[in-house]
């Protein structure tokens, strides 16, 4: 497990709606029940807790072609590498 994986899973779990178990890398983003307000909150928490600047445009799909929580974790790791 990467250094950011567990903190990100915890942040997502705080905002997910209707999950019956904690999110994992395999959890589909669609199953998280996250609305646009929660997306903004998650981005803020990621920036604050993990020290990563997350580019965000409210007019675009924030998930792009990501489909699972693992895709989100990988995207965040790529941001950290830049």
Quick check: 38 pLDDT over 80?
yes
The model's pTM:
0.81
d(CA 44, CA 47): 5
CATH architecture designation of domain 5-81: Orthogonal Bundle (1.10)
Could you read off the pLDDT of 11-27 as tens digits, one per residue? 999 999 988 899 999 99
Most confident of 2-6, 10-14, 55-59: 10-14
75 close to 2: Cβ distance less than 8 angstroms: no
Kindly state the tokens that stand for 24.
């994992």
39 close to 81: Cβ distance less than 8 angstroms: no
d(CA 71, CA 63): 9
Which band of pLDDT confidence, cut at 50, 70 and 90, is reported for residue 62?
low
Residue-range domain boundaries for the chain: 5-81
Ordered alpha helix ranges (H), the chain: 5-15, 36-50, 69-81
């Amino acid at each position: 497990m990467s250094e950011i994986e567990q903190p990100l899973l915890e942040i997502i779990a705080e905002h997910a709606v209707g999950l019956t178990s904690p999110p994992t890398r395999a959890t589909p983003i669609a199953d998280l029940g996250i609305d646009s307000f929660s997306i903004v909150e998650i981005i803020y928490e990621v920036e604050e807790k993990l020290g990563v600047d997350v580019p965000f445009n409210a007019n675009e799909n924030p998930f792009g072609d990501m489909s699972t929580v693992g895709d989100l974790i990988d995207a965040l790791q790529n941001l950290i590498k830049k």
